[in-house]
Amino acid sequence: MSEASIALNRFGMGARAADAPPAAPRRMLIEQMERFTVLPAPIAAYPRTPALAADLAAAYDAVQMQTRAARRDGQNADAVTQEVRQAARQRGRDYYAQAVGVRAQAAVASDAPFVERLVHFWANHFAVSADKQVMVGLTGGFEFDAIRPHVLGRFRDMLHAVERHPAMLLFLDQAQSVGPNSPVGQRFAQRQQGPQRLGLNENLAREILELHTLGVRSVYSQADVTEFARAMTGWTVAGLGRGQGARLAQAGGQAGAFAFAPRIHEAGPRTIIGKRYDQQGEKQASAVLDDLAVHPATAKHIATKLARHFAGDEPPPALVGKLETAFLKSGGDLPAVYRALIDAPEAWVPQPVKFKTPWEWSISTMRALGTQEVPAQAVLGLLNQLGQPVWRPGSPAGYDDIAASWAGPDAVMRRVEAAERFASRTRETIDGRTRAAQLFPDALSATTQQAIARAESPAQSVALMLVSPEFLRR
Amino acid sequence: MLSRRNFVLTGTAGALSLGFAPRLAFAQAATDKRFVFIIQRGAADGLATVAPVGDPAFAAQRGVLAQDFAEAPRLDAMFALHPSLKNVAGLYAAKEALFVHAVASPYRDRSHFDAQNVLESGGTSAYQLKDGWLNRLLGVLPDDERKAIAVAATIPMAMRGKVEVSSYAPSSLPDASDDLLGRVSMLYAQDPQLHAIWQQATATRALTSDLAADNGRNAAATGALAAKLLAADKGARIAMIETGGWDTHAQQRGRLAGQLNGLDQMIASLKTGLGPLWGKTVVLVATEFGRTVKVNGTAGTDHGTASVAWLLGGAVQGGRVAADWPGLGEAALYEGRDLKPTASLDSVIGGAAAAHFGIDPRRVMPSLFPGQSAKPVGGLIRT
């Protein structure tokens, strides 16, 4: 690959039909960081998280009101509320589908595709999965409002935004975690009500340590997880949490927004990874996050993942070291880390180092073909078919970032089928010979050039371009 | 630009459309005559379809490709028909099949894209005309029944133009065509990772479908569907069927035999489906250019120049091969490699269309093939 091709394809999301090959590839990437728009038109037109959350909270409120009314009247609540429950679910699904379309539209049209790629990287690093009904409709807002504003900011700020976002608090059960010695916890224990469990939930605290910051098997122990979970109690979502804990929290504030609920917070000093935290209330977990955000283990974890994303499935240790240093020296200033990445020769090796994920392949395809309209349902369908449903990795670890997960026989066959369909829709208006040369400046193998040139129709030449080794990798 | 309908939707794989993967397009003209254009995309080898076995240079020039014709049915003293074309041989015997050999469009380079554009637009050079000659043919026919449909994902170039032609696709999301799969195999041949993945992928696929059987069946089904739409009361009068897979750069014998078998079955089911209407039908089979006279290093042929055009149907003055035969000797070849064109494909189409639809022959060429100086060929159609 030429450096121009590396900048367009490995760092970017693939060239657009009209893009000229960059004369100064590194400078182009820096300029993209200066040019990046947090809220480009399609995303700006999508509701912000507070509006989304308030609307979804209202829909679930309606369910609760009907349920209470039905019980009061001695009716079967399940039967009575079926319609309104379906409406609430549907509202969440609609917001989700719309957001998927908006995300693709922004990526296809972006003139700062390097930063756009980083947004997707961080959204996958801090993965929420649209598996829980109550937060399906918030997944778009999570990326748009917690990740995007901080992609060129400090890691600390992104971490805070992410862990306070209702999608995360609901996905990893934080909203219903109750301190055993909190006012609610104590009252509950005295009354000894029923078999329902009410208490500490370690899920988010653990994933923050394991996935979001320090990394698995690093410097923390189970005792640290539990202590951190205690510190995190009280972090919840107003009016949208499920379960008794969330209801009893009586969190104030706007429905669907982050709230700190003192009634479920486990008060008292905490010791986490050898450091004592005497802060009160919300500030305590905040202080822990501040320290985690600049911890050397975090720097190493983030550096490794970024290096894997840009320099290969087995990230070169030298590059990991450079990124780690940049992270620590700058106190987690992300642009400083990105600049170290751009400066590192390890990220510019001429052989392709990554096999594109289905998302990357789809976006680069649409950019290559000059797609203007990106219908939400079509993107949903395509990504489901190719095996990477958007914001639905099924696990808080996110999607794998290695070829072994994506380069399989069925996966490649599906791409070939999709490529032929994409190509047939170009109505023979694109000639693969010229387009491929444009998209991969000085980077096409003789085999690929020949295959494209010998195609029996313009559409077939486009299909072959889309599944060529050059197009499948970056 | 992609809109909702030209996008990939959730796993609705639709009916299998393997190998031959034909697409149809229909247009309607107010006449009881029927006209079908079957385009062979990818440059079909005319010399391996209607072979000049009587040419003294034939056996030496064609090498391994001559072997198919050892016992092939003779059409006359010079020509023999490919043995896969059993039904077409029957039509020839019934004087319902006519071949025009050493024929070419005005295009003389060897790019599929450009050549198909010339063949379909009817211009003298690529991208010179914005509409297709089939659409312009509709324009000169009586206009009282101009309801037209295209049974295809998109309307082919030959049918695009002022007269509205809508489209209908029998299956929305076909599997990737065999021809594309074959090319992908070559594309990945030098890439160890993708080569291994692709071998597994195609092996899995081979287990789940009998390509050879499906090939012919699928083509026959397309022919039957076309017949249904043409034979219907107020049905389309003009149809176009797209076929691909003719670009036989490697291992031509087996591939071409399969291709011609599919086309033969398509034509047979078209005839059966049309019933008595077959007597009023002309089917034109044509390709963008021919292939090299000599076999290349991979038992195939490369892009050439002249090929063969077919006219089939009860309305055709058939039972003969029309050719001003240029010969296959070295000195006779076009640019030292291809069959030299001695007949104008435009004139054949113009002559067939004019006689079939009763259009003034002086009017037909300027309308369908503006810029073409050759006169329409007469005597192709029974009148």
pLDDT digits (tens, 9 = 90+) for B114-126: 898 899 999 999 8
The DSSP code for A21 is: P
Is pLDDT at A160 greater than 90 in this prediction?
Answer: yes
Q: Long-range contact list for B121-128, CB < 8 A, 24+ apart?
A: B121/B157, B121/B158, B122/B158, B122/B346, B122/B368, B122/B369, B122/B370, B122/B372, B123/B369, B123/B370, B123/B371, B124/B371, B124/B372, B128/B371
pLDDT score at A193: 53
Summarised one tens digit per residue, pLDDT across range A39-81 is 999 999 999 999 999 999 888 888 888 888 888 888 888 888 8
Phi, psi of B239, deg, nearest 5: -130, 150
Please determine, for residue B147, whether its predicted confidence score (pLDDT) is greater than 80: no
Residue A136 · residue A88 · CB < 8 Å: no
* Max Cα distance, chain A (Å): 80
Q: C-alpha distances in angstroms, A430 versus A460, A462, B109, B382?
A: 10, 7, 20, 42
CA angle A45, A46, A49 (to 5 degrees): 135
Chain A nearest C-alpha distance from B123 (Å): 17
Answer yes or no: is B6 within a domain. Answer: no
Q: Is the pLDDT of residue A196 over 70?
A: no
pLDDT digits (tens, 9 = 90+) for A78-114: 888 888 889 999 999 999 999 999 999 999 999 999 9
User: Which residue is it, tokens 């998302």?
Assistant: A359
Q: For residue B11, what pLDDT is reported? A: 27
Q: Is B178 inside any structural domain?
A: yes
Residue B9 lies in a domain: no
Q: Cβ of B193 and A425 within 8 Å?
A: no
Q: Average the pLDDT over each of A133-147, A187-201, B280-294 and give the range with the smallest value.
A: A187-201
Nearest to B248 by CA among B285, B292, B305: B292
Domain assignment present for residue B27? The answer is yes
Residue B199 forms part of a structural domain: yes
B187/A461 touch (CB, cutoff 8 Å), yes or no: no
CATH number reported for the structural domain that contains residue B287 in this entry: 3.40.720
Task: Locate all alpha helices (DSSP H) within A36-132, ordered by sequence.
Answer: 41-44, 49-72, 77-80, 82-109, 113-125
Cα(A176)–Cα(A184) distance, rounded to whole angstroms?
Answer: 12
Torsion angle of C-alpha atoms A31, A35, A40, A43, degrees rounded to 10: 60
Query: Total structural domains in chain B?
Result: 1
pLDDT in tens, B206-253: 433 322 335 577 788 888 888 888 888 777 888 898 887 788 877 889
With a CB cutoff of 8 Å and minimum separation 6, the contacts of A195 are none
Helix (H, G, I), strand (E, B) or coil at B282: strand
Lowest mean pLDDT among A9-18, A427-436, B173-182: B173-182
Q: Which residues, other chains included, contact A366 with Cβ-Cβ below 8 Å and sequence gap of 6+?
A: A104, A108, A374, B2
Q: How much is the ipTM here?
A: 0.86
Q: In this complex, do A463 and B41 lie within 8 Å of one another by their Cβ atoms?
A: no
Q: How confident is the model at residue A197 (pLDDT cuts 50, 70, 90)?
A: low
Nearest to B187 among A374, A457, A468 (CB): A468
Q: Which residues of chain B have a CB within 8 Å of the CB of A428?
A: 113, 154, 157
Provide the domain limits for residue B272.
15-368
Tally of residues, chain A: 474
Of the residues A412, A420, A429, A462, the best mutation for testing chain B's interface (the one with the most B CB atoms within 10 Å of its CB) is A420
CA A21 to chain CA centroid, nearest Å: 29
Domain membership of residue B144 (yes or no) is yes
Q: Given an 8 Å threshold on Cβ–Cβ distance, is A409 in contact with B180?
A: no
For residue B332, what are the contacts with CB-CB under 8 A and spacing of at least 6? B326, B340
Radius of gyration of chain B (CA): 20
pLDDT surpasses 70 at B193 = yes
CA distances from B265 to A98, A331, B85, B270 (A): 47, 73, 8, 8
| B161 assigned to some structural domain | yes
pTM value is 0.67
Enclosing H/E stretch for A276: strand A275-277
pLDDT band at A465 (very low <50, low <70, confident <90, very high): very high
- Chain-centroid distance of CA A288 in Å reads 23
Is B162 within the bounds of a domain? yes
Structure tokens that stand for A379 in this block: 């993107």
